[in-house]
Structure 1
């Protein structure tokens, strides 16, 4: 190779490395500070920095509301084509887009990585007549309207978990008496005082109350039993339900392919890093990693599944 060609190659490689290393990353957190999406984004980049995977500056923007659709709409419209613009989102977003009639099209974004998951549990009062998940499902089938169940926002993963349980137990989904609560603590209060027959939420919301004896967990939506939790999976109890409140990362619409591959690689390295494993343990999150086009296929399948459930529940047309 001629010297001039070698020099040109070295200059091009150096230019790319410098651009990749010095670029400032912008991350949309479509929720208020302190929530799950906020924590996922900030903790991921903190661990990435500790691992030496990406040590540049990061500009976080919080924009909450409407299940993340307000922040993601701003991200969709304002970040198109930008090389280092990312956003956090998750399972809740999928239903929120439909329920809020949002113009967001998840297929237009670059699917970078699915990072974490939190499984859902169904809980009742310790002295409830429902001793097993089958007992509760039987009561739900006999009198769905008279069996109020509390959880997160209408159309969210808690509501969807109940709808899936209903479908598995031959209960008309549109007959369910689902009552959205402001948070897990409010759901527990409703269970304890009897205004709710049961509640559904992420395990992190209920586990402390279960250990204190205020509620009893009847089942979890994971594929396998969770260590330290004395409760069967929904599948083990006879109901084909598996659902996770997953969270992940999107790249901007029309993100350049080189940058897209770079971020997929960075998050893949993050998943294997010790700082991230320590973060998962500290936060009580489960690793739920998937990256690149495979993640895009998963998003499409989740969108189809969740929208079908929302239609069956009469929440969407």
Structure 2
């Protein structure tokens, strides 16, 4: 799993990468396209997919392509350059819909070939253990008093963490666009920004926060689950008086223009993977919840989510 190809920017990534005319099935070859950076949540799930496919003998050794400019550039490149590539999957999820909507990208996740959703997890807020903020109420009070001085951070603007910050703004009566949010591609570097004091509060998926919580470098304030999660002693927003629930799902999609045989092979590979012991061990390792939808169910879910997020961006005044 060391074969990686990095694309630092969209323009540099477009030359010579057209995959039209790929073979009708992938055989033992598969490329995972990660529209993010090393160490991001999408990279983590991509690595988990690759390890599980390899351990179960479904593919020999997956290749990786990284679009380090983030989800918008990644979606555009994948849409434009990988049409017909029957041996390629892109890792994506809820965090792709908002950024591409805000940027008004010409590419749309709905135009790709839906394969499957894989996982879901809740989102949490945390501050540095050196912070003078000790509770959600204190964070909201500080934000209400000086919204420009409280710096929230997480993954890309328009992504899951940003949506959560917009929900907080709605609760305290401040439009989301007036809150200070600093986005990091894939969320890489966001936790360090909070720990170092250059940002106030981290909003990200719980699995990405757990290592820093375990090291005692972050103090959790709230999680978006409806009830407290087993083994995770973090109060919910609901028990602190806020009607906020949010789940960050992740999935894989294929390019457009596939033959039925190409799509069938990819669906079969993922279907075999999710029932394997190797994949179940990854779910446990990263505290992910299985969220497996395929076919028309997954396609319908993505359509609903795309509309929900676009409406939510307007309601939260994030656009």
Which residue of the partner structure matches residue 76 of structure 2?
Answer: 73
Does residue 1:240 correspond to 2:243, yes or no?
yes
Which residue of the partner structure matches residue 229 of structure 1?
Answer: 232
Does residue 1:144 correspond to 2:147, yes or no?
yes
Specify whether residues 295 and 51 from structure 1 end up closer, same or farther in structure 2 by C-alpha distance, changes over 3 A only.
same
Which residue of the partner structure matches residue 13 of structure 2?
Answer: none
Which residue of the partner structure matches residue 96 of structure 1?
Answer: 99
CA distance in 1, matches of 2:218, 2:64: 37
Which residue of the partner structure matches residue 310 of structure 2?
Answer: 307
Alignment deviations for residues 176-216 of structure 1 (CA, whole Å, 9 cap, x no partner): 233446421112222xxxx6553323334443443444432
Between stretches 95-104 and 124-133, larger displacement belongs to: 124-133
Specify whether residues 61 and 296 from structure 1 end up closer, same or farther in structure 2 by C-alpha distance, changes over 3 A only.
same
Unmatched 5+ residue regions in structure 1?
Answer: 1-17
The alpha carbon displacement at 1:161 in A equals 0.9
Does residue 1:189 correspond to 2:193, yes or no?
no
CA distance in 2, matches of 1:198, 1:271: 34
Does residue 1:178 correspond to 2:181, yes or no?
yes
Relative to total residues, which structure has the larger helix share, 1 or 2? Answer: 1
Is residue 151–residue 158 contact of structure 1 (8 Å, CA) maintained in 2? yes
Normalising by the residue count of structure 2, what TM-score does the alignment of the two structures yield?
A: 0.78
SS in 2 for 1:250: strand
Does residue 1:290 correspond to 2:297, yes or no?
no
The alpha carbon displacement at 1:153 in A equals 3.3
Specify whether residues 39 and 98 from structure 1 end up closer, same or farther in structure 2 by C-alpha distance, changes over 3 A only.
same
Q: How does 1:1-317 map to 2 (within 5 A)?
A: 20=25, 22=27, 24-52=29-57, 54-56=58-60, 58-65=62-69, 67-124=70-127, 131-141=134-144, 143-180=146-183, 182-190=189-197, 196-316=199-319
Is residue 176–residue 318 contact of structure 2 (8 Å, CA) maintained in 1? no
Between stretches 229-238 and 208-217, larger displacement belongs to: 208-217
Larger radius of gyration: 1
Name the count of aligned residue pairs: 293
Which residue of the partner structure matches residue 3 of structure 2?
Answer: none
The alpha carbon displacement at 1:175 in A equals 2.8
Alignment deviations for residues 230-278 of structure 1 (CA, whole Å, 9 cap, x no partner): 2222233332322233321001113223432443343233222111011
SS in 2 for 1:236: helix
Specify whether residues 50 and 209 from structure 1 end up closer, same or farther in structure 2 by C-alpha distance, changes over 3 A only.
closer
Is residue 188–residue 206 contact of structure 1 (8 Å, CA) maintained in 2? no
The two structures, once aligned, show a CA RMSD in angstroms of: 3.0
Is residue 99–residue 156 contact of structure 2 (8 Å, CA) maintained in 1? no
CA distance in 1, matches of 2:131, 2:104: 39
Normalising by the residue count of structure 1, what TM-score does the alignment of the two structures yield?
A: 0.78
The alpha carbon displacement at 1:111 in A equals 1.2
The alpha carbon displacement at 1:128 in A equals 6.0
Specify whether residues 108 and 196 from structure 1 end up closer, same or farther in structure 2 by C-alpha distance, changes over 3 A only.
closer
Unmatched 5+ residue regions in structure 2?
Answer: 1-22
The alpha carbon displacement at 1:44 in A equals 0.9
Is residue 163–residue 309 contact of structure 1 (8 Å, CA) maintained in 2? no
CA distance in 2, matches of 1:25, 1:32: 19
CA distance in 1, matches of 2:279, 2:144: 43
CA distance in 1, matches of 2:155, 2:27: 40
